[in-house]
Amino acid sequence: DAKTTQPPSMDCAEGRAANLPCNHSTISGNEYVYWYRQIHSQGPQYIIHGLKNNETNEMASLIITEDRKSSTLILPHATLRDTAVYYCIVRSGDDNYGQNFVFGPGTRLSVLP
Amino acid sequence: DGGITQSPKYLFRKEGQNVTLSCEQNLNHDAMYWYRQDPGQGLRLIYYSQIVNDFQKGDIAEGYSVSREKKESFPLTVTSAQKNPTAFYLCASSLGLGSYEQYFGPGTRLTVT
């Protein structure tokens, strides 16, 4: 079973920041938060991951609350090409015996012109 | 260019026939995965392989079989025992089983009538 809860859908205006929430209230101390996205009829694409500190890369920022029970993925300036399903996944860390990813239904983000 | 290829993009079969989906990667990754996706749903893990000549069942392995005779290849056979084979099938690979990033292929959409 997925360990995360996400809203099924969200809209965002083009050029604005898209803030995608994720609840993971049962997260364990050694589990990371990962975000992937899937553009229609393509394979998912890795975006970012983090343990407890906020993370930023060229695609997005990840804000994790201090108690680690929720997080927010931020796309700072959403474009039409960011329209996709976004998956928030909780999984143990990087090692060869890690758990598999569990992709739940995700959040369908629609970026509107 | 490095990546994962799946062929064909669309596949049509009659009920009762076995069908094999191709997945090839030239990323020199050890781990490979097969997922199934139904409309409006997340991904479900069918099989995964950590290394050549080794593979493990995922959450929904019944009615499927795999082989891993070469590092770069991980074909999936959908057998006639699979009750609802029509779906979108995604192959992925990663450096190791616990790597944070899985690289996905473009997928094969299988329709069985």
Between chains, do B102 and A2 touch, taking CB under 8 Å as contact?
A: no
Tell me the per-residue pLDDT of B26-35, one tens digit each, with 9 for 90 and over. 999 999 999 9
pLDDT by residue, tens only, chain A of 113 residues: 568 999 999 999 999 999 999 999 999 888 999 999 999 989 999 999 999 989 999 999 999 999 999 999 999 999 999 999 999 999 886 554 556 888 999 999 999 99
Tell me the per-residue pLDDT of B47-89, one tens digit each, with 9 for 90 and over. 999 999 999 999 999 999 999 999 999 999 999 989 999 999 9
Question: Do the strands A9-13 and B31-37 form a parallel or antiparallel pair, or are they unpaired?
Answer: unpaired
Between chains, do A105 and B42 touch, taking CB under 8 Å as contact?
A: yes
Which residues of chain A are within 8 Å of residue B48 when distances are taken between CB atoms? 100
